[in-house]
Structure 1
Amino acid sequence: MSTLTALARAQAVVSGRAQPIATVRHLHVHEHPLVLIPLAMAGEANAPLAAMVGTGRSDPHLLVVTQPRNRDDRFAFFAALAEQVVPYLDSFATETEDVPVDRGRDVRQRYRDAPQLWVPNPAGVDFLRLLGRSTRFRTTDGDYPVPAGVPLLGRWLTFFANTAEMPGSCLLLNAVQALGLHWATGQSAAEDAQLGAQLAWIESGAEAAREAEKGPVAGPATDPDFDNRVLAPLIERSAPELPDVLRDLLLPTWERMWRVLDLLRRLPAGERVASRWDSDRDAYTAFAQHVAEGGAPQPRRDGAVAAAARLQRLESAAARYAVQRAFDDPLVLAEYRLAGAAFAGTVTLANPDRIDDSGKRPVLRPRIMVHTTEEVRVEPGTSLTSPARPAQKAKVISVSPDGDVLLELSGGMGRKLVAEPRSVPAVGERLVLTTLSEAYRPGGAFPEPADTPWTHGGPPSTEPDQQ
């Protein structure tokens, strides 16, 4: 937990109301998302009991497994879920747009929009991941065939669960983490996992949260008392009233999910949210085309090279997402100011026309002086960036004990020896400078899968059970 988040939690306890920890929304909220609330049977590994799914607040579809231990009933449930989910996913694979590549010398195609799935909590994401893993290799013929939509649903759910691991991705989101990214409650992170209590803290305060704790759970796990007292007898006798009981159990969470979306939509989107959604659209386009072309399902496990490459992508995405959030949101950037990775100050001197002719050719290198009252913990030679001009680098020339920082600027001023208007900070301008940077970071080099060393398992096997 960060320092400011801990302070916000303390303030929430004192005031009895959740406190904002963001000034902008750091995720994309779709105009037409698909909300999915899974429910699993207690004591069974990922055995689905029910799901409430739909794209409209007033039109939830309830799917129920009347006998969760019966294989045919379970796969009928998977098929019914596929009928609800897959058409929604396919509906975005229609209109495309041109995306310039290779500095505008070529174009590629990307779908204009992408689907977005919402579940109540991280456990819902895990449920979809396990559901995808258990269905994507099923066959529609031979022994134990399943309906055609089941393996397709499994491949899509695996794709969405994988994207949920990518920091900044918004294809599959859960309400608990989305709220926790923008508000701090006066309860622990473990208590925030109860969507009803967390939402009540934000909407109404501590007293409402205490009442919400008594309400139904948000799935996928059910309440043990409910299992023993209500659910088990209904399943035992295949009671026809089971769907009505489960509907009453899930409807409060369904309504809360849409209230979460309403809350988030009221926040203005961060400047870099749109670019991350573009990346999500790229990922959706690539996978949709892979499926349409008859590509193979995702492997059961990654090989050594694929796993290392994926880990590197996750690490790069996490670093990039942290920088983008800080550049979009002064409250997030304040954490870095507390840690000494950023400081704010006012420009007191500026020489926008300075030319450095010490090299082979003259280059534009303006200098500015920034006065700050904050502690400056950077050394001369450090490269800094201002969120107001992310393409511009400011090298620290000197730092005085009085808080005057002399900086030399490069980049983001045009290609001539005269800076473009407003590209150089003017005297009196307030600046925030940080060691954070959005600059591209090249990835590491990995061997070909066939050249995987024996220390990492050797070349991947071609046997089906190893794919």
Structure 2
Amino acid sequence: MSVLTALARVRAAHTGRAEPLATVRHYHLSQRPFVLIPLRLAGEAAAPLAVMFGTDRDEPTVLIVPQPRDRVLRLRFVEALAGQVLPHLASYLDAAEPITDKSGEVVGRRCLDAAQLWVPNTGGVDFLRLLGRSVRYHKVDGPNPVPAEVPLLGRWLTWFAERAERPGSAVLLPMTSVLAMHWATGQSALEDANLASLLGWISPPSGMSGAQAAALAEDPLLSPPAGPATDPGFDNEELAPLVNAYDTAIDDIDGTAKTVAAQRLESALRGQLEPTWQLMWRGLDLLSALPEAASVPTRWQRDRGSFTYFADTIDDGVAQARRDAAVSAVRRLLDREAAAEAFQAQRAYDDPRVMAEYRLAGAALRGTVIDCEPDRCVPSGKRVVLRPLIRIKTVDPFTPTPGETLHSTERPNQKAKVVDFDSGTLVLELSGGMGNGRTAKPGTIPQVGDAVGFTRFALNSSGGKLTLPEPEDTPWTHGGPPPEYDPEHTEESW
């Protein structure tokens, strides 16, 4: 936790209302967010109990498993869920734009939009990952076949869960994590994992403080858990008797006994889900009120590209591997590290509140130009290049090293080498982003009196390049070449 975040939490506790940590929204928000609230059976990692989902806040859909320990009923539940989710995903696939290379040749396509799933918390993301893993290897032919939609949904859920691990991705988002990135409450980070409590601090009811609203959220009768785990009291007093009633129900001539038992169970589970459903849409309303950060479209474009590529290749029938081979694991790790570094830099460049944390930590500065030499040129090899000097006065706790390279926050392509530093005054030599001649383009050089910012990190850093061997060249120290894919032996081992 940074100093400013800690200060914001103290202020929130003092004022009784959450303090903003951001001035803009750092995630894409779909025009058709698909809200999904899963519940699972206690003690079972991937045994679905119920789910409420949809894109219309007034008409959610509820699916239940009346006996979650029954594998047949669970597969029927997954099939029914696939019948709702897969058409939603397919609705994004027709409208696409061409992807061209530098020569203008079309090399692929990218959907104009992509599906975005919202779950209440990180537990919802983990549950979808396990649910996808549990069904993505099911066979559609041979003994005990399942409908093709079942493993197809499993592969899609696995993709969403894996994409959610990439920092900055917005295709599968836990509401509590996104809200906590934008607001600081007067409670602990662990308590922020409670969606009702978190929203109580951010938007408390009229006449109540955040602490009072959060206290109400601790009552499971008023605010049932947001899942995927259910309240133990509900499990013992309501859920267990209703599931037992379904098990012991004997169909009469009309075959309605089990139907009635299932309807009673659905009614009870709907009562557990509906409060969280309303909280999810409240959270979306709060996020939609924030302006979108400048770098969000770029990250969403990458999500759209990944969504399109996966949709175009999923019909190959090859499910994701149980575990990564050595080379693919390193590539995935490097990609996530680079994405995390880029996401942190983009948030800082987009948001002055986030940048303030870096300024306080001595990783960035903000100051005023007090002197400028815009026409200064220096020899570089056989030619003379433009290298203006500017003198900046700052009060930030920033201590640079002579010769260090800084990056401009207003002009991301412009760098500055530290020439001198003394008592809060920096002399910087500018390079890049000014054109190719000896005269800079208008507006590319700060003038006396301008407020400017510089950081120790670049906005568009590509990270270090690492040459990796081909999978078939994996050394024995890392397990050797991975085995060839065998479609006849793909059952998941638990």
User: TM-score scaled to structure 2, two decimals?
Assistant: 0.92
Aligned partner of residue 414 in structure 2, secondary structure: strand
Q: Matches of 1:295 and 1:71 in 2, distance apart? A: 23
Q: 1:441 offset after TM fit, Å? A: 2.5
1:207 matched to 2:212: yes
Q: CA deviation at 1:209?
A: 1.5
Shift of 1:95: 1.1
How far residue 28 of structure 1 moved from its aligned partner, in angstroms, is 0.6
Conserved? CA contact 2:415–2:432, under 8 Å: yes
In structure 1, how many angstroms separate the alpha carbons of the residues matched to 2:80 and 2:298?
A: 35
Q: Which residue of 2 aligns with 1:231?
A: 239
How many pairs were matched up? 465
The Cα offsets for residues 313-343 of structure 1, whole Å up to 9 and x where unpaired, read as 0100000100000001111111111111111
Does residue 431 (structure 1) correspond to residue 436 (structure 2)? The answer is no
Return the offset for 1:291.
1.5
What is the aligned counterpart of 1:411 among 428, 432, 437? 432
Shift of 1:153: 0.3
Please name the residue that 2:46 is paired with.
46
Separation (CA, whole Å) in 2 of partners of 1:307 and 1:301: 8
1:461 aligns with 2:461: no
Does residue 336 of the first structure (1) align with residue 358 of the second (2)? yes
Aligned residue for 1:362, secondary structure, equals strand
For each residue in 1:64-83, what CA deviation from the matched residue of structure 2 results, as whole angstroms up to 9, or x when unmatched? 00111111100000001101
1:162 aligns with 2:173: no
Q: Give the stretch that moved more between structures: 99-108 or 324-333.
A: 99-108
Q: Per the alignment, in what secondary structure is the counterpart of residue 371 of structure 1? A: strand
Q: 2:375 aligns with which of 341, 350, 353?
A: 353
Q: Is the 8 A contact 1:19 1:185 kept in 2?
A: yes
- Read off the aligned partner of 1:459 and give its amino acid letter: P
C-alpha distance in 1 between matches for 2:437 and 2:443 = 15
AA aligned opposite 1:253: T
What letter matches 2:225 in structure 1?
V
| Matched-pair identity in % | 53
1:282 aligns with 2:282: no
- Structure 2 equivalent of residue 394 of structure 1: 416
Cα distance in 1 for partners of 2:461, 2:405 equals 12
1:455 CA drift (Å):
1.2
- 1:103 Cα deviation after fit: 7.0
Classify 1:277/1:103 alpha carbon distance in 2 versus 1 (closer, same or farther; 3 Å): farther
Q: Which runs of 5+ in 2 are unaligned?
A: 205-209, 247-260
Partner of 1:218: 226
Q: Which of residues 414, 436, 441 in structure 2 aligns to 1:420?
A: 441
Contact 2:338 2:462 in 1 (8 A): no
1:323 to 341, 345, 353: 345
Letter in 1 for 2:320: Q
Matches within 5 A, 1:12-411: 12-102=12-102, 108-204=108-204, 205-214=210-219, 215-238=223-246, 239-240=261-262, 241-292=264-315, 294-400=316-422, 402-411=423-432
Tell me, in whole angstroms, the C-alpha distance in 1 between the residues paired with 2:11 and 2:30: 32
> Aligned partners of 1:65, 1:178: CA distance in 2, in Å?
30
Q: Is the 8 A contact 1:135 1:154 kept in 2?
A: yes
Q: Per the alignment, do residues 409 and 106 of structure 1 end up closer, same or farther by CA in structure 2, a change over 3 Å counting?
A: farther
CA deviation profile, 1:38-87 (whole Å, cap 9, x unmatched): 00000223100000010110110000001111111000000011011111
Q: Could you tell me which amino acid in structure 2 is paired with residue 254 of structure 1?
A: W
Counterparts of 2:355 and 2:242, CA distance in 1 = 53
How far has the Cα of 1:443 moved from its partner? 2.8
User: For residues 145 and 451 of structure 1, what CA distance do their matches in structure 2 show?
Assistant: 37
Q: Helix, strand or coil for the counterpart of 2:143?
A: coil
2:96 and 2:111 in contact (8 A); partners too: yes
Q: TM-score, normalised by structure 1?
A: 0.97
Structure 1 CA distance, aligned partners of 2:417 and 2:105?
A: 33
Q: Which runs of 4+ in 1 moved over 3 A?
A: 103-108, 463-467
Q: How far is the alpha carbon of 1:178 from its aligned partner?
A: 0.7
What SS does structure 2 have at the residue aligned with 1:51? Answer: strand
- Any conservation in 1 of the 2:45–2:130 contact (CA below 8 Å)? no
Amino acid paired to 2:480: G
SS of residue matched to 1:237: helix
